[in-house]
Structure 1
Amino acid sequence: MDYSGESDGENFLADPEVVGPLYSDKDLMRMRSVEDMKAAWRDMSEDNRQKIRDACEDPQNQREQDLCAAVSGLE
């Protein structure tokens, strides 16, 4: 699913095709180890990384705080 035109960043942050590599399960409940997340982050396109950053900066995406905190530590 492509959320590139979505204004709701939370949907983008819940897209398994985008953020799935950062998780160890298909339900997006358990994040990978820091080392695995760093590798997955590096493998993502810059466009997707930027969209994740932008979505994490949106205060309406509070549900994804754990993901956003983890991503901010990958930079």
Structure 2
Amino acid sequence: MGKFILVIVLVTLAVYLVVRLVETRGALFRRGNGGSTAKPERRPSGPLGPDDDPEFLRDLNRRRPHKDKPTDG
């Protein structure tokens, strides 16, 4: 039973070290000159969705029928 637990611990440690190495270096499976080619993430300058766009929200208010206005009929 003790050998089985030792094998499980060693396999877990080996998997952890390999995953850690791949995450930090990342160059094992990437082609290139080995240098860091990661670019900082740029945020888009415009609205991301309709709820971020003030013009869209204004247009919604214009198109929505107002309940307090009486209708003909």
Q: TM-score, normalised by structure 1?
A: 0.20
Q: Could you say which structure has the greater relative contact order, defined with CA pairs below 8 angstroms and 6 or more residues apart?
A: 1
Question: Which entry has the higher C-alpha Rg, 1 or 2?
Answer: 2
Point out the structure with the larger helix share.
Answer: 1
